Amino acid sequence: MIFEHKLVEYIDFKYRKATFFDESSSDFIKGEALVFDEKKEEHFSVGEVSGYFFDINDSENTLHDILDSISADTNSISPYFDHRYNKVIPKIQKLFDFNEEDIMAMSSNFIYLHMLEVDKEYRGKGIGKLLISAFLNDCRRNACFAFLNAIPLQFNSGFDEQKNKITKKEFKDRNEKESEQQLIKFYTDCGFKLINKKKTDMVACISEL
């Protein structure tokens, strides 16, 4: 798929393939949006997206062990799968009007979007949506669904206050609920749907991108 943007010249993707036991069923992927600095005559990053491609079809490990080997965040989507067949549960099927035969014929592989961040001065310019679209289109391989947890960065339990103190300050006037709603709206515009209105887990069907 062709992507065009007035500011971003490249999206630089890097892949890390794990070869260690349970983690061997997942690949870590990171993409950076690069803008050209005419004065310095070099490119610099203005935002990044990262996530995992999970190869469930060819794995001998259980889905729970595969997800748990990465982090608690990835393991949080475990309840959305029928572990007997490694297929999504009926609740996910209904969100996209699939029947059981459709789901059983689909690949069990999926993507988990771990993090999206755009530099403050470059927000509101479509860079976040560009990164999400490029990630889902170019890195999906044979995955049929993409999952994420729409927790605002500054309220994430893994947030590094020292490393991100400037980012923390940027959101000081917005409470957690307001931040969640804004983030959910953003991901909805990117094609994701809330799985449970009481939670922030979201899913997108990417089988026909």
Tokens of 119: 């530099």
Give me the residue label for tokens 């470059």: 122
Return the minimum-mean-pLDDT range out of 45-59, 111-125, 159-173. Answer: 159-173
pLDDT at 176: 78
- pLDDT mean over 36-63: 94
pLDDT (tens digit per residue) in 187-197: 999 999 999 98
| CATH 3.40.50.300 for the 8-205 domain, yes or no | no
Where does the pLDDT of residue 157 fall: very low under 50, low under 70, confident under 90, or very high at 90 and above?
Answer: low
Distance, CA of 187 to CA of 135 (rounded, Å): 13
**Which of 57-61, 73-77, 79-83, 174-178: highest mean pLDDT?**
79-83
Distance, CA of 122 to CA of 32 (rounded, Å): 13
Distance, CA of 20 to CA of 207 (rounded, Å): 28
Higher pLDDT, 84 or 172: 84
Annotated domain spans of the chain: 8-205
pLDDT at 90 over 50: yes
How many other CB atoms sit within 10 Å of the CB of residue 71? 13
Adjacency order of strands within the sheet including 8-17: 8-17, 26-37, 42-54, 110-118, 145-149, 201-205, 193-194
Higher pLDDT, 8 or 17: 8
The b-or-e profile of 6-45 (16+ CB within 10 A means b, else e) is eebeebeeeeeeeeeebbbbbbbbbbbbbbeeeeeeebee
Where does the pLDDT of residue 88 fall: very low under 50, low under 70, confident under 90, or very high at 90 and above?
Answer: very high
pTM of the model: 0.89
Answer whether 171's CB lies under 8 Å from 154's CB. yes
Distance, CA of 53 to CA of 51 (rounded, Å): 7
Q: Where are the beta strands (DSSP E) in 38-187?
A: 42-54, 81-82, 87-88, 110-118, 145-149
